[in-house]
Amino acid sequence: MAEPTLDDLRRYAVARTLFSPTTLPAAIRKLGFVQADPIRAPARAQDLTLRHRVKDYRAGDLESRYSRLAIEEDCLVNYGFLPREHLALMHPRESTRAWDADTQRKAAEVLAYVQAHGPVHPRQVELHFAHGRVTNYWGGSSNATTHLLDGLHYRGLLRVVRRDSGTRVYAAVAHAPADDSPAGRAQRAAALIALVVRKYAPLPAASLTYLVRLLGYGAPHLAAQTQAALRIARDEELASCRIDGTTWYWPADETPASKRHAPDDALRLLAPFDPVVWDRRRFELLWGWTYKFEAYTPAPQRRFGYYALPMLWHEQVIGWANVSAPGGSLQPSFGYAATPPRGAAFRAALDDELQRMTQFLAPR
């Protein structure tokens, strides 16, 4: 079989994740993980990701249907939503941030309160305990009760049962004991690597290494095992090729050069964390320009805008859009990596995407 070219990898990267729209549970299962982000510009990242992959998806569908689906809010390489069965790969999770005796006592009291009262809103817990404020991981101040609830959730002692106006509502949960034998830990580490490769392939070697390092967020207690599993995956399990000095990896049962990966005619505005564009290293290798997420960049220093949505047309990311919808009326602005496309086909494809965006943002 001929080795794939960079053009093959580009088409493969797009086609393998932009599958035919399906149901919400099936799309999340197929993706394996959907990254979350709270910014709405014009919708949250998880909704912007799912709208391309779920039939008749509307902004907020994931939140409104969450409690009826076998999915969980949890951590993998970052925070998001994943099928419930994946939790067994990471829980019981052992945090690298040890609590001191006072925090352990407060956490135990909060957990006992949640166990006794059922699903609780953080405000309810705070009114009961009045823990005050703490310094958060970024040096700012945050509610101490929220901090404790987040920590209990991360450690697998609480789960998110729903959101009320965007705020997590928690309930107690108990995860089944994991196989903690050397073989069991190795098996879970290998499964986690397979999960992220399925999500983000094809991957440059450096990106694969980076993703496995990020698994230290979801499974910090398996750090040694994921490093060992990475060596085995690279040497024995994943398919690979080398193009212009970069080694690329993908699942061995997939064929990047397949003609099935031919692009369609649609234009899509993607979330900044969509799997097509998530890996900025891969982005530059495949599309030849640098895209940056600038929501936290001071406005005078932005090139792309507050929440620039990469613009994919056929298999090329040709530019970006910033979209707002005051009063339900879509107001887009555009930027391009090179000369903007001309012609009726591009204008029609862009009009179609803006119409789909309008429908996606409309309430049911």
Which pLDDT score is estimated for 10?
Answer: 98
Per-residue pLDDT reduced to its tens digit, 150-183 = 999 999 999 999 999 889 999 999 998 999 999 9
User: For residue 33, which phi and psi values (nearest 5 degrees)?
Assistant: -170, 140
Instruction: Supply the pTM of this predicted model.
Output: 0.93
Return the pLDDT at 263. 93
pLDDT in tens, 21-76: 999 999 999 999 999 999 999 999 999 999 999 999 999 999 999 999 999 999 99
What residues contact residue 316 under an 8 Å CB cut-off, 6+ apart? 10, 287
Count, residues in the chain: 364
Residue that terminates a domain, selected from 120, 143, 172: 172
Residue 50 belongs to some domain of the structure = no
Domain contains 217: no
* Residue finishing a domain among 138, 172, 206: 172
**46 lies in some domain:** no
Domain end point (choices 143, 172, 201)? 172
The pLDDT of residue 131 is 58
Task: Check residue 76 and give its pLDDT.
Answer: 97
326 found inside a domain: yes
* Among candidate residues 54, 1, 7, the one with its CA nearest the CA of residue 261: 7
Dihedrals φ, ψ of 21, to 5°? -55, 140
| Within a domain: 9 | no
Q: In this structure, is residue 346 part of a structural domain?
A: yes
Where the chain has pLDDT below 70, the residues are 1, 131-142
Domain count, the chain: 2
One-letter amino acid for residue 355 of the chain: Q
Domain that holds residue 332: 263-361
